[in-house]
A and B are shown apart, each in its own frame.
Chain A
Amino acid sequence: GDSVTQMEGPVTLSEEAFLTINCTYTATGYPSLFWYVQYPGEGLQLLLKATKADDKGSNKGFEATYRKETTSFHLEKGSVQVSDSAVYFCALDRGSTLGRLYFGRGTQLTVWP
């Protein structure tokens, strides 16, 4: 069935370090892919999305490219900030009209000054 496998955390980085959080997926058809972020005490927020192969989603300095050949959607940021500390979730939507999201386990990122 459809699923998302996400890099286990926690990830701890110093400010201005490079971030990669790996995400791979299994899906039939043509899924859309998402990264959601959850800041402490808040709900999940959409960070970025990509709806077809080779699309690059980007927002707030974060980027992820939809790679169909490797079934991956890795999240990257060139220079993290303390304010990026949060839990990051990779997710897919099968692209049907129904909108059910399949989530990865989430990766806790902590950035130290």
Chain B
Amino acid sequence: EPEVTQTPSHQVTQMGQEVILRCVPISNHLYFYWYRQILGQKVEFLVSFYNNEISEKSEIFDDQFSVERPDGSNFTLKIRSTKLEDSAMYFCASSGVGIRGEQYFGPGTRLTVT
């Protein structure tokens, strides 16, 4: 069964450093998403991406964040200058045609900022 994959599974970085989180969505999906979950809190939407552009972003997704689909398979989230409060589990998801909320999630990348 096709699945969404994410790398790395765990990333430790120092405050102020740039990180890139990588995702490979399901191959025939057209809509891509990033969510994050700070420990003990809700899963929060960051951004959605369709047709090579951002279709929606939350208030969390400020200028420090960017997304890119550099080729036909990868979908990346970049944080330019990490802060302690960026420590969280980051989930990538994708969906096809049909109900947008029916999304397929990757296993997540745990980002720890020290």
Q: Is A92 among interface residues, defined by CB-CB distance under 8 A?
A: yes
Partner-binding segment picked from A12-20, A39-47, A69-77: A39-47
Q: With A34-B102, A42-B107 in contact, do A106 and B43 touch (Cβ < 8 Å)?
A: yes
Q: With A43-B108, A105-B41 in contact, do A99 and B101 touch (Cβ < 8 Å)?
A: yes
Q: With A41-B107, A42-B107, A43-B91 in contact, do A103 and B43 touch (Cβ < 8 Å)?
A: yes
Q: For the complex, give the distance between the alpha carbons of A112 and B43 in Å.
A: 27
CB proximity to B under 8 Å, residues A67-113: 89, 91-93, 96-106
Contact with B56, one of A36, A41, A92, A98 (Cβ below 8 angstroms): A98
Smallest distance from the beta carbon of B108 to chain A beta carbons, Å?
A: 6
Q: Is B75 among interface residues, defined by CB-CB distance under 8 A?
A: no
Smallest distance from the beta carbon of A81 to chain B beta carbons, Å?
A: 22
Q: Is B65 among interface residues, defined by CB-CB distance under 8 A?
A: no
Contact with B106, one of A43, A49, A89, A103 (Cβ below 8 angstroms): A43
Chain B, Cβ-Cβ closest to A31: B101
Counting chain A residues whose Cβ lies within 8 A of the other chain, the interface size class is 20 to 34
Q: Is B82 among interface residues, defined by CB-CB distance under 8 A?
A: no
- Total number of B residues with any Cβ neighbor in A under 8 Å: 27
Render B39-77 as a binary contact track against A, CB cut-off 8 A, 1 for contact. 001111100100000011010000000000000000000
Contact with B101, one of A45, A101, A104 (Cβ below 8 angstroms): A101
9 closest residue pairs by CB, A with B: A99-B100, A93-B101, A43-B105, A103-B43, A44-B105, A43-B107, A98-B56, A100-B45, A43-B106
Interface residues of B (CB under 8 A from A): 4, 6, 31, 33, 35, 41-45, 48, 55-56, 58, 91, 93, 95, 99-108
- Name 17 interchain pairs, CB-CB below 8 A, sorted by A: A32-B99, A43-B106, A44-B93, A46-B104, A49-B99, A93-B99, A93-B100, A96-B100, A99-B31, A99-B33, A99-B95, A100-B48, A100-B56, A103-B42, A105-B41, A106-B42, A106-B43
